[in-house]
Amino acid sequence: MAIVVTLAGAGAAYAAGTRSDPQNHRHSITIMLDPEITAEQQAAVEEQLRGWNPTVGPEFRDAGAVASMAAEMYQDNPEALERAADVALPAIGVVIVESPAFDCEPVPALRRLPGVQSIMIDGVAKPGGRFGRIECP
């Protein structure tokens, strides 16, 4: 699972890019999807993610695309690549949201959707700020 956590950080790195409003923070929401997720379940996840009015996404990557990301990210770290090969990497969904503060209210409903394994939310402070994991109930 450490590989997946690190891959989710790629969404946070993307979130560090240019903001449309410099007063806002960027938040990367990464959803680990069940390997057996149906098209209807993924559509429900996408609908829930659109409720955040994302700046970017939702973007979905299947397990093969996630494995390719891992290979690229860890090309200089054979030990990490070996660990990634031993783990069934999930498909993921990612959105980027801009707001002065992250709203955790929609998170529990998203967690309860069929096909959702886990959710990670990374925040990036105003330009020059730091990354941080956001914990929602």
DSSP-assigned letters across all residues of 14-78: HHTS--SSTTSEEEEEEEEEPTT--HHHHHHHHHHHHTT--SEEEEEE-HHHHHHHHHHHTTT-H
**pLDDT, tens digit (0-9, with 9 covering 90-100), for 72-101:** 888 888 888 787 777 777 889 999 998 888
**pLDDT, tens digit (0-9, with 9 covering 90-100), for 1-19:** 333 434 444 444 444 444 4
Residue 44: the pLDDT is 96
Degrees to nearest 5, angle at CA 103 with 40 and 13: 80
Confidence band, pLDDT 50/70/90 cuts, at residue 111: very high
- What SS3 class is residue 10? helix
Tokens of 43: 């559509």
* Confidence (pTM): 0.75
Q: Domain 2-134 is in which class? A: alpha beta
- Rounded mean pLDDT of the chain? 80
